Amino acid sequence: MSLKLYYDLMSQPSRALYILLKSVKCNFESKYVDLRKGEHYSEEYSKVNRLQKVPVIEHNGFVLTESVAIINYLSREGIIPNNLYPIESKSRALVQEYLEWQHLGLRLHCAMFFRVKYMDPILFGRSPSEEQIKGYEQRMLSALELLDTKWLGGRTEFIAGNSITVADLMAACELEQPRMAGFDPKEKFPNIAAWWPKVKQHFNPYYDEAHIILNKIVQKQQKITSKL
Amino acid sequence: MSLKLYYDLMSQPSRALYILLKSVKCNFESKYVDLRKGEHYSEEYSKVNRLQKVPVIEHNGFVLTESVAIINYLSREGIIPNNLYPIESKSRALVQEYLEWQHLGLRLHCAMFFRVKYMDPILFGRSPSEEQIKGYEQRMLSALELLDTKWLGGRTEFIAGNSITVADLMAACELEQPRMAGFDPKEKFPNIAAWWPKVKQHFNPYYDEAHIILNKIVQKQQKITSKL
């Protein structure tokens, strides 16, 4: 079996797949794609993924993009165990319900806040206005409110039931992103604050390992802000 | 077997599921939710779907939201046939790759253009500036360019291979949305223009049936524009 993972740990779904594969002791080949250097736009990488994004897997020569499609495929191929992604039809449906909701329900808003407030000034020297940041922040807060109250919020211990699944890992990795732009979701959302450490604990030491660079950026940003 | 479909034919994924279920001769119970009257925000509907969106299915008492999760579930339950959603692992992965890409890759941009240019003025009396519309239009054009060249574009006859699948139906229904705001994707994108009629033909008469109201709106808008 040959499995390659193309990723950058700055990307949320890349981290989720990296952690997942490490935690199930899958012996994959690391293919690092440096997003900050624009390596995903290179001719070489465009041959791997015509859509020029990470993560991507190559499994015995079969190339697949899109993290949720990758998780589904790896589950069918026996690489992701059933305890993290149940095969019983209704239980699996509830995990997939979250994974589908996440794209426009959570990911969009956390990623846009991160991009506009943190990435764009670095990459393009573009400074957003206070009003723009506020708009993105407001949409992110509404999304987090839904995660906190409609997906968590005492219904069940985890997102798709009382057992941890790939849905929790995907969500947790999304929530790390706005921390780099100075916003920590656990400070305002009690259900997220109670659930998040359980996800980290389950996937450690790999969760922390995948977030080393991200956490360094968070600390650096905190130092800059505290000096202002 | 009891299957209820909660839907409004103004919603793209609602139309896709409606067409899909009709075309496979599934005898479902229609539960119409009038989005323009805000029925999805009612207390009664919130008990069905706490996220207050359509489409939703209720299958022998099991409630599920999110169109892609619903398609996966109905496939496992034997309601969607394998020719429209292949079960061979790699073929299925390619369909899922598109279904996952679509959320942020296509749906977001077509839907936002439709919402800002057509819906918001009606619902909230909010008139967008020319510059705003242009921004949304530009992002939609970039998304359509990707569909036209990276997903279609002569690679294969359909989105995920040489057979029609649920991916094609989902994509086609998304492309109908901006038509109500005066933009027809087939006019600028040749591969979309060649592929779209094949999807309609396969799913007719249900495709046209699900788009009757939408097409009336398109015609009405064309009359208004031609008088300007």
CB burial class (10 A; 0-12, 13-18, 19+) of residue B131? exposed
Distances (CA, A) of B37 to B32, B40, B42, B65, B123: 12, 8, 10, 20, 10
Q: Which residues pair with B3 in a beta bridge?
A: B59
Residue A124: per-residue pLDDT: 84
- Within 8 A of A51 by CB-CB distance, chain B residues are 101, 105, 146, 150
Q: Is the peptide bond before A55 cis (omega within 30 degrees of 0)?
A: yes
Q: What does DSSP assign to residue A88?
A: S
Sequence ranges of the domains in chain A: 3-76, 89-227
Residue B158: per-residue pLDDT: 98
Per-residue pLDDT tens over the stretch A106-147: 999 999 999 999 988 988 888 899 999 999 999 999 999 999
Residue A162: per-residue pLDDT: 95
- Run of H or E residues at B193: helix B190-203
CATH 1.20.1050.10 fits A89-227, yes or no: yes
Residue A110: per-residue pLDDT: 98
Supply φ then ψ for residue A62, to 5 degrees.
-90, 120
Find all residues with CB under 8 Å of A218, minimum gap 6, and list them: A179, A180
Q: Look at the domain B3-76 and name its fold.
A: Glutaredoxin (3.40.30)
- Within 8 A of A108 by CB-CB distance, chain B residues are 104, 108
**B99–A103 C-beta distance less than 8 A:** no
- The interface predicted TM-score (ipTM) is 0.96
Supply φ then ψ for residue B123, to 5 degrees.
-75, -40
| Gap between the Cα atoms of B186 and B176, Å rounded | 10
| Gap between the Cα atoms of A48 and B6, Å rounded | 40
**A150–B101 C-beta distance less than 8 A:** no
Structure tokens that stand for A131 in this block: 């009003």
Rg of chain B on CA atoms, in Å: 18
- Within 8 A of A72 by CB-CB distance, chain B residues are 92-93, 96
How many angstroms separate the CA of residue A227 from the nearest CA in chain B? 37
The minimal CB distance from B97 to the residues A69, A90, A104 is found for: A69
- Within 8 A of A103 by CB-CB distance, chain B residues are 100, 103-104
Residue B47: per-residue pLDDT: 93
Residue A36 pLDDT grade (very low, low, confident, very high; cuts 50, 70, 90): confident
Q: What is the mean pLDDT of chain A?
A: 95
Find all residues with CB under 8 Å of B189, minimum gap 6, and list them: B144, B145, B147, B148
Which regions in chain B score pLDDT beneath 50?
Answer: none
Residue A225 pLDDT grade (very low, low, confident, very high; cuts 50, 70, 90): confident
| Gap between the Cα atoms of A82 and A19, Å rounded | 16
A93 vs B: CB within 8 A: yes
| Gap between the Cα atoms of B151 and B98, Å rounded | 8
**A108–B150 C-beta distance less than 8 A:** no
Give the closest residue to B79 by CA, choosing from B5, B167, B3: B3
* CB contacts < 8 A (A, B): 83
Mean pLDDT value of segment A178-203 = 97
Residue A1: per-residue pLDDT: 77
Residue A155 pLDDT grade (very low, low, confident, very high; cuts 50, 70, 90): confident
